[in-house]
Amino acid sequence: MQEYFGNLHRSTEELEAVQLTKLRRLLCHAYISCSYYRQQWDKLHFDPNSLSDIKDLERLPVIDKQTITENYSGFIANGYGVDNIKKSTGGSSGVPFSFELDQESNQRRQAIMWRGYGWLGAGLGVKALYVWGANIQPTGLKSAFKERMYHAFYNRKMLNSFNLNESNIMEYLEEFSRYKPDVVVGYVGPLVALADYVLTHGIKVRSPKSILTGAEPLYEFQREKIEKAFSAPVYNTYGCREFMLIGAECKNKKGLHLNIDHLVVEVVGEKNSNEDSTNEESAISSQSAQLVITDLHNYGFPLIRYANGDKATLGNQVNCDCGSPLPLMQSVDGRKLDVIRTPGGRILSGEFFPHLLKDFKQIKQFQVIQNAINEIEIKLVLNSAETGNDAEIDKIQQLIQKSVGHEVMVNILIVEKIDLTISGKLRVVISNI
């Protein structure tokens, strides 16, 4: 929709006014049309017409997947149910989750995606190669043909990242050279695997103009590796199935530009979930906290203050010197559960382990799992069985042990591969406590 592209020529203040107007309209609609919101807000004596500032949202409870699943019919707006688009996602937790969106909302999120991709050189019609997840279930000839035509219309070719393995990795790289894409869009994990292979074997690959990553956290050491292998700048994007594109870097790489003309993005204290907000639990910006999002245009199945399970740091949201009026989010910091806790009360964020292990060249892939407060399991996939690995592994164990304390048992396992989630992604750190 042309509205979103035109908004890039407006000021941040103008967009914030637009955001507030859209939010008030959405809340009024949700109160009238959705029984769940009406019942909850009546208990709080909240009148959506009284909304005068975005911060007034803090009066409302946060909702999550469980809330929606247990009250599903109460989120379907009157008059929308039949025409709504039904969606589902496994998420990084692997727990199936269903939701809906109306037709206009679907069109709007497509426009937001193309706007964000556009300023990174991957706009509508640009020749693109996607290293992305594809359908796991088998499809018929008619469906397969329809899908090929769909991607051809958008001038893109899809490489199924779910099928990537050591025996066929060269086929993927050969497709890079044959297709000659202007831009590559892909999951972080498969792109890192391809980059590793390129660098290890000294393969020359035709460089695209840019590479966009999504679906998984992008750590700086991964960005550097992909850029070195493909001689192209790598830009991070952030979204989820419930909203599609939430934010995207610009070419300055100083943070993610938030689509405030389409969404309201907050970070809130951990306790602010399905409870009344308090000043102590109100939205914060200077530290990593629970990410909460409101879709301003999904009238068919309103998602208002929805916690998608991720953590983020908004920072001071200053504008970027690229000229965009969309404010910056400092970082996405991983899933809410992706922290390691110790009996002594220490909390290690998921970022700790990539930072610690990135300099150990023998490590091809790793995963950290905590099933008990006093035990951590580290799975390592090594590049080769080189002499000296034992000494390096001992060093890794000592460093981790020092960080978590001696009351935590650290078990390091050398494995041939690490299983992906059912959605084809690698969870770097998993806490099951």
**Cα–Cα distance, 86 to 79 (Å, whole number):** 15
pLDDT in the model for residue 96: 60
Residues near 276 by Cβ (< 8 Å), separated by ≥ 6? 44, 59, 61
Q: Could you tell me the pLDDT band of residue 430, with boundaries at 50, 70 and 90?
A: confident
pLDDT category, 424, cuts 50, 70, 90?
A: low
Q: Does pLDDT of 270 surpass 70?
A: no
pLDDT at 350: 67
Read off the pLDDT band of 14 (50, 70, 90). very high
Shortest CA distance to 291 belongs to which of 258, 249, 262?
A: 258
> What is the CB neighbour count within 10 angstroms for residue 341?
15
User: 353-401, pLDDT tens digit by residue?
Assistant: 877 887 787 888 888 999 999 999 999 988 776 656 788 888 888 888 8
CATH of 2-111+250-335, one of 3.40.50.12780, 3.90.1570.10, 3.10.580.10, 3.40.50.720: 3.40.50.12780
Instruction: Reply yes or no on whether the pLDDT at 302 is more than 60.
Output: yes
- For residue 181, give Cα distances in angstroms to 122, 128, 205, 211, 319: 10, 5, 11, 10, 32
- Burial class from Cβ neighbours inside 10 Å (0-12, 13-18, 19+) for residue 297 reads buried
CA–CA gap between residue 70 and residue 79 (Å, rounded): 21
pLDDT at 132: 87
Q: What is the pLDDT of residue 134?
A: 67
Query: Domain boundaries in the chain?
Result: 2-111+250-335, 120-236, 339-431
* Least confident span in 135-139, 329-333, 334-338, 419-423: 135-139
Percent of the chain with pLDDT over 70: 87
pLDDT for res 278: 41
- Token pair 């700790």 is found at 352
> Dihedrals φ, ψ of 429, to 5°?
-130, 130
Q: Is 196 left (phi over 0), alpha (psi -120 to 50) or beta?
A: alpha
| Alpha helices (runs of H) in 215-318, residue ranges in sequence order | 220-230
Structure tokens at 414: 């050398």
Q: How confident is the model at residue 335 (pLDDT cuts 50, 70, 90)?
A: low
Q: In this structure, how many other beta carbons lie within 10 angstroms of the beta carbon of residue 262?
A: 27
For residue 388, the model assigns a pLDDT of 60
Q: What is the pLDDT confidence band of residue 94, given thresholds at 50, 70 and 90? A: very low
Span of 89-98, 121-130, 229-238, 370-379 with lowest mean pLDDT: 89-98
Flag whether pLDDT at 138 surpasses 60. Answer: no
Which residue in this structure is represented by tokens 């949201």?
317
Give pLDDT, residue 426. 74
Highest mean pLDDT pick, 132-141, 222-231, 375-384: 222-231
Say which range, 108-117, 120-129, 176-185, 262-271, has the weakest mean pLDDT: 262-271
pLDDT at 383: 79
pTM above 0.75, yes or no: yes
pLDDT for 265:
96
Q: How confident is the model at residue 91 (pLDDT cuts 50, 70, 90)?
A: low
Give, in order, the Cα–Cα distances in Å from 369 to each of 176, 202, 356, 381. 35, 33, 16, 14
How many other CB atoms are there within 10 angstroms of residue 402's CB atom?
10
More confident residue, 419 or 372: 372
Query: Which CATH superfamily, name and number, covers 339-431?
Result: ANL, C-terminal domain (3.30.300.30)
Domain 120-236 architecture: 3-Layer(aba) Sandwich (3.40)
Q: Do the first three CATH levels of 2-111+250-335 and 120-236 match, i.e. the same topology?
A: yes
- Indicate the pLDDT class of residue 352, thresholds 50, 70 and 90: confident
pLDDT, position 90: 59
**If we measure between CA atoms, which residue out of 255, 270, 266 comes closest to residue 326?**
255
Token pair belonging to 337: 């559960």
Q: Is 67 in contact with 274 (CB distance < 8 Å)?
A: yes
In the chain, the amino acid numbered 13 is: E
Please, are residues 208 and 230 in contact by the beta-carbon 8 Å criterion?
yes
pLDDT tens-place string over residues 399-414: 888 888 889 999 999 9
